[in-house]
Amino acid sequence: MSPQLDVAPQQIDWTPLLGWGIALIGLAAVAAVAGQVIKVALGNPIPYEVRKELEEKYGRWAVQTAIRVCPRDDIECIKREAERLYESRILRR
């Protein structure tokens, strides 16, 4: 009598493939967010000519603070806020 080998059907282990897939999706998401952050950080919120004009009128500090406070590309808000900051600074002295 010859010995018989019990051969079990092989199952594929999907765990490493699933782990790599999740890692790639996570890296793609991080890259997309980083791209948006860099675009916002390095972008120009208002045209150079308008900024120069406002800085001459209200001062660099007021314009930079107004740019940080106001929504992006809202030039009217930046003008109002720079004027308000300038006046409050002058009246405080």
pLDDT tens string 74-86: 899 999 999 999 9
Is 9 a residue whose pLDDT tops 80? no
Long-range CB contact pairs, 14-21, < 8 A, 24+: none
Cα–Cα distance for residue pair 70/35, rounded to 1 Å: 22
Environment class of 54 (CB within 10 Å of its CB; exposed 0-12, middle 13-18, buried 19+) = buried
Global pTM reads 0.54
pLDDT in tens, 36-61: 988 877 777 788 899 999 999 999 99
25 and 37 housed in the same domain: yes
Q: Are 82 and 54 in contact (CB under 8 A)?
A: yes
**Domain range for 68:** 46-93
Residue type, 11: Q
Supply the pLDDT for residue 42.
78
CB burial readout 12-24, b (16+ within 10 A) else e: eeeeeeeeeeeee
Dist. CA 51–CA 61, nearest whole Å: 12
Same domain, 27 and 63: no
Q: Is the residue at 7 inside a domain?
A: no
Overall number of domains in the chain: 2
Same domain, yes or no: 41 and 54: no
Based on the fold, state whether residues 52 and 34 are members of the same structural domain. Answer: no
